[in-house]
Amino acid sequence: MINTMNGNSKAKSKAYLIAKRITDVLFSGIGLIILSPVFVIVAIAIKLDSKGPIFFKQDRVGKDEELFSMYKFRSMVVNAEELKKALENQNEMSGPMFKMKKDPRITRVGRFIRKTSIDELPQLVNVIKGDMSLVGPRPSLPKEVEQFEPWMKERLTVQPGITCFWQVMGRNSIPFEEWMKLDVKYVRERNYFLDIKLIFKTFFVLFGDDSAS
């Protein structure tokens, strides 16, 4: 009986992962086609607003602690990392993450695309490539992962995602440790219907999220 249940559990897990991957590729592909005019408008706005590249690429930690390059629309000035050192004492997020609601490094266009989460749209390419999923814990920086407590690393056993509990439940208003607990909760409870529910909830963020920055 136990072996049969374990076999069913594994089969269900495999079926879930296949369905999840199909949904990722299908939704991301459709999203890139439908949102292509938005990509063009945002690209022009970024270029007119400040000097620098349109896209921002950064190493993030993926499943099983593998590094990958994550894409975003650039929302900050080009020397943002250099300026960060002088702002670290103003960090409003607990834990190893750095967040400021009125971060002076963010450009005018950057504030809008962050508030509406448009800056995250290039990650649809990461999803098609297989680096990310539509739903999963947000990918962390390597230096952040170095400061994780052992239990927090359970979130690294699945593919990171564009959206998850944290993304739809308050984002930066959620303390770091609670954020990590939500990610672990997702890892343990994830299923296809939960993923679909979180995807649709995320659409509301596009209309503006006061907790985004």
The pLDDT of residue 169:
83
| Alpha-helical regions (H) of the chain | 2-34, 36-49, 80-84, 108-115, 123-129, 142-145, 165-168, 176-189, 192-202
pLDDT at 87: 77
State if pTM tops 0.75: yes
- Determine which of 22-26, 35-39, 112-116, 177-181 has the lowest per-residue pLDDT on average: 112-116
Phi-psi region of 55 (alpha: psi -120 to 50; beta: other; left: phi over 0): beta
Instruction: Locate the domains of the chain by residue range.
Output: 2-207
- Residues 77 and 90: their CA atoms lie apart, in Å, by 18
Tens digit of each residue's pLDDT (9 = 90 or more) over 125-180? 999 999 999 999 999 999 999 999 999 999 999 999 999 998 888 776 788 899 99
pLDDT tens, position by position, 36-65: 999 999 999 999 998 899 999 999 999 999
- pLDDT of 103 higher than 90: no
